[in-house]
Amino acid sequence: MERSVVPPALYGGRSAHRLAVLPNVHRFRHGSPVNTEPARKYIPLTQRPYQEIRAEADKYREMAATARSATAKRGLEALAARFSALADRMEAEQTG
């Protein structure tokens, strides 16, 4: 994979603001990234399996454990709690 650097002129001439060009990402003339990968169809949470939602809650818990600020930690823990509650409710509905 070829890696190149965006010319510093796009970022006010400051060489500290070089960005590597990633695969499947192109840049407009002014430097904004544009993702060229096809978009996945959105599936509402209530239509996903409860196991998938529980896995998302676990991811948020892992992120909360490594959060650098107390605000981020509280927010991620709150998201994990909401995802867990939804997964519990959906599991109860699906298993009877």
Per-residue pLDDT of 24-56, as tens digits, reads: 555 555 566 666 677 778 889 989 999 999 999
Mean pLDDT for the stretch of residues 77-96: 94
Contact (CB, 8 A) for 60 and 83: yes
User: For the chain, which residues make up each domain, given as ranges?
Assistant: 1-39, 45-95
Residue 3 has pLDDT above 60, yes or no: no
Please report, rounded to a whole number, the percentage of residues in the chain having pLDDT higher than 90: 51
Q: What value does the mean pLDDT of the chain take? A: 78
Phi, psi of 33 (to 5 degrees): -75, 145
Q: How far is CA 6 from CA 10, 25, 36, 37, 86, in A?
A: 7, 12, 18, 20, 43
SS3 27: strand
pTM greater than 0.85: no
Q: How far apart are the C-alpha atoms of 18 and 73, rounded to whole Å?
A: 30
